[in-house]
Structure 1
Amino acid sequence: MKQTITRNFLLIVLALAVVFAFAMKATIFQQPPTQKPTTTATSADFSGYWFGGKAELNSYTLEQAQYGALHPGEAVMIFVTEDFRTDKQVKAETPESRDKAVPVLKTNISKKFVTGIYDYSLFTSIFTPINSGIDNPALFPNTLKVSTSGQEWCGHSYLQLNYQNNGYRITGRSYFEKEVDEDYTVGKAMLEDELWNRIRLNPEKLPTGEIQLIPGTMAARLRHKKLDPLPAKLKIDNYEGVLYPGKFLKSYVIEYPTDDRTLTIIFESQFPHKIVGWEEIYKSKDNLLTSRAVLKKTILTDYWNHNAPADSTLRKTLLSNR
């Protein structure tokens, strides 16, 4: 008996370990459970990040569809809070105007790329009241203003949306004949452009399902489309790919069935919900192409105080691939 136990000692130990593991509702083959990420920020976290006197700067490698081909370039997204006048819909810059202002999250989106011999430059600014995205009552639930400008060697254009009278007034000027002098209104609807801000404010409140959505202003200018609300399908999924950096990533898909266009925004589910890239699919000269941006670098800085030649080192840091 003693010899039998000695010869089978290791097998006996292993059997006892397995029995014990099952008794503890686990096995030696299980991986430790992954803790779910915290998605909701506390008020202190939110205030510390967004009201700490700095902006979040993000640089991206860019492939942009235009003229039936993909063109390499770069994109930058700047997120910063500021006081915004609700009457004139401009930044409050004097003590007298502070009582007419609300805090907004402003997103600046810059895209630069080259088509053949000449340059393209696009720039969008989006102003969303912060109380529209967090838990306190929404005094100003709608994004107040969006403006987009475009410059290329044929000419330049400008497009602006202002929230007025329970809808949006859209004004535009352009080198192109069909867009030379625009001034019209559309009924109140969610803006595609404001979804970037709403991801950052509280992704748990992002709209999903089928809604009316006013398409993005950059895409409208590149495709020479009028900004009418369109039916859209929106959904949020876990991102399962490997192209974008970060952990616990989500994909927010915005599909326009009547316009053959889909935008997918990839972001981190954990606060501060950094946007790590996006994909945009539509036809360009009958070619179905995917524009794509992938995050390279993020820095927090008060960039408005860094405009001397010596501060160019910060720019190199932001735009570098390391």
Structure 2
Amino acid sequence: MKQIVTKNFLLIVLVLAVVFAFVKKATIFQKQPDPKPKPADTLSAAFTSYWFSGKAELNKYQLKQAKNGALNAGEAMLIFMSEDFRTDKQVKAESKDNALPVLKTTSSKKFSTGVYEYSLLTSVFTPINNPLFPNTLKVSLSDQEWDGHSYLQANYRNNGYQVSGKSYYEKEADENYTIAKAMFEDELWNRIRLNPDKLPTGEIQLIPGTMAARLRHKSLQPLAAKATLAEYEGVLFPGMYLKSYTIEYPTDDRTLIIIFEKLFPHKIVGWEETYDTKDNLLTSRAVLKKTSQLDYWNHKAPADSVLRNQLLSTL
């Protein structure tokens, strides 16, 4: 026995080391990747400090919206905030189960055409720097008009998007269809805030904006688009060191230009959207009037209306 141990000493030591490693879960075969990278570990200190501060960024815009062959006065809001989002149920997380941080855009438009009123709102949920979930997980739209209301939702599932909707319009009354995976135009606002240097350029496929689709009664489908990132040289929008991101849809005769600040946190100072309405080629425009950071969900008392008045007082 002693001779056997002596002759095979190195082999015995190696076997014992491997067994010990498995017991301690220290081998390369058992090391599991972190499914949820911590934002503080993967993002810059400036990004973490700004977007994980416990406050939302509220932006108020003066709006001219094309509809029914004319430009109509209104107001728009862009609200950005980080929050935990469940990847399975695709809703705001109230526990840590299947949750990861997302950047959420809530965009609203309110305008009237004569006596008739429109109110539209979208929410977009884009994971923050998570390699396991690189795609936007959910986009939803609600549309309230005096004639009735409608709702549209797209969920990322099975390497594509499941679209469902309800509307008071007969042709849109019950929608349920799937579309191929592509980037949403609606998520570009999040992509700008996350890292504008990574915006797609050149010939790309995009799913057009849900508000534009609903106002023109078009279904969601990926379309060919041309995207260009450049320095902004105009004078219509406020701010310094501005850049423009232009998306042209040649098959839809529609162009969107988003203007934002080159420097972090890449605030969006406005946008222009051109398309035909009632045989008139018109350009909608939103111009930033005021920005504030606020944990608005903690200010629901009547006395807190002073904060709302401060935000709205610029128009």
User: Please, which of 96, 100, 103 is the counterpart of residue 102 of structure 1?
Assistant: 100
The one of 283, 308, 311 equivalent to 2:304 is: 311
**Corresponding letter in the other structure for 2:55:** K
Cα distance between partner residues in 1 of 2:149 and 2:304: 30
- Contact between 1:296 and 1:319, CA under 8 Å: does it hold in 2? no
The aligned runs of 1:27-38 (5 Å cut-off) are none
Distance across 2 between alignment mates of 1:315 and 1:292? 23
Helix, strand or coil at the partner of 1:194: helix
- Specify the code of the residue in structure 2 equivalent to 1:268: E
Tell me what 1:158 maps to.
151
The amino acid that maps onto 2:302 is P
Length, aligned pairs only: 274
The residue number in structure 2 matching 1:111 is 109
**One-letter code of the match for 1:234?**
A
* Number of the residue aligned with 2:135: 142
Which residue of the other structure, out of 206, 214, 228, is the alignment partner of 1:235?
Answer: 228
| Structure 2 unaligned blocks of 5 or more | 1-41
CA deviations on 1:85-128 (whole Å, 9 max, x unpaired) are 0000000113xxx1311100000001000111121000000000
In 2: Cα distance, 1:205 partner to 1:225 partner: 29
Offset of residue 139 of structure 1 = 1.7
Structure 2 residue 291 is the aligned partner of structure 1 residue 298: yes
Structure 2 residue 185 is matched with structure 1 residue 192 = yes
Report the counterpart of residue 208 of structure 1 in structure 2: 201
**Is 1:93 aligned with 2:94?**
yes
Measured after TM superposition, the shift of residue 320 of structure 1 is 2.1
Deviation at 1:312, TM superposition (A): 1.1
Deviations 1:176-211 (A, max 9, x none): 011110000011111101100000000000000001
Q: In the alignment, is residue 73 of structure 1 matched against residue 74 of structure 2?
A: yes
Q: How does 1:42-61 map to 2 (within 5 A)?
A: 43-61=44-62
User: Match for 1:302: what amino acid?
Assistant: D
Higher alpha-carbon deviation: 192-201 or 41-50: 41-50
CA contact (8 A) 1:85 1:92 kept: yes
Alignment match, 2:314: 321
Distance in 1 (CA, whole Å) between partners of 2:148 and 2:68 is 16
Paired residue for 1:287? 280
TM-fit CA distance, 1:43: 1.1
Residue-by-residue CA offset, 1:119-146 (whole Å, 9 max, x unaligned): 10000000000115xxxxx221000000
Find the counterpart in structure 2 of residue 260 from structure 1: 253
Question: In the alignment, what sits opposite 2:84?
Answer: 83
Inter-partner Cα distance in structure 2 for 1:87 and 1:131: 18
What SS does the aligned partner of 1:73 have?
strand
Q: Any runs of at least 4 consecutive aligned residues in structure 1 with deviations exceeding 3 A, and if so which?
A: none
Residue by residue, what CA displacement relative to the aligned partner does 1:147-188 show, whole Å, maximum 9, x if unpaired?
000001111110000000000001110010111100000111
Aligned partners of 1:296 and 1:320 also within 8 Å: no
Q: Distance in 1 between matches of 2:236 and 2:180?
A: 38
Q: Shift of residue 230 of structure 1?
A: 0.4
> One-letter code of the match for 2:267?
K
What CA distance in whole angstroms lies between the structure 1 residues aligned with 2:126 and 2:138? 8
Question: Match for residue 38 of structure 1?
Answer: none
Whether 1:125 and 2:123 are equivalent positions in the alignment is yes
- Counterpart of 2:237 in structure 1 is 244
Q: CA deviation at 1:318?
A: 1.1
Q: Which residue of 2 aligns with 1:4?
A: none
Q: 2:176 aligns to what SS in structure 1? A: strand
SS in structure 2 at match of 1:315: helix
Q: Distance in 1 between matches of 2:279 and 2:260?
A: 30
- Cross-structure match for 2:215: 222
1:9-24 map, 5 Å: none
| 1:186 alignment partner, SS class | strand
**Which stretches in structure 1 are left out of the alignment for 5+ residues?**
1-40, 133-137
1:297–1:320 contact (8 Å) kept in structure 2: no
**TM-score if structure 1 supplies the norm length?**
0.84
In the alignment, the residues of structure 2 paired with residue 260 and residue 101 of structure 1 have an alpha-carbon distance, to the nearest angstrom, of 39
TM (norm. structure 2) is 0.86
Amino acid at match of 1:85: R
Cα pair distance change 1:42/1:165, threshold 3 Å: closer
Sequence identity (%): 73
Q: Which residue matches 2:5?
A: none
1:131 aligned counterpart, secondary structure:
coil
Quote how far apart the aligned CAs of 1:42 are. 6.7
Contact 1:173 1:180 in 2 (8 A): yes
Contact 1:57 1:77 in 2 (8 A): yes
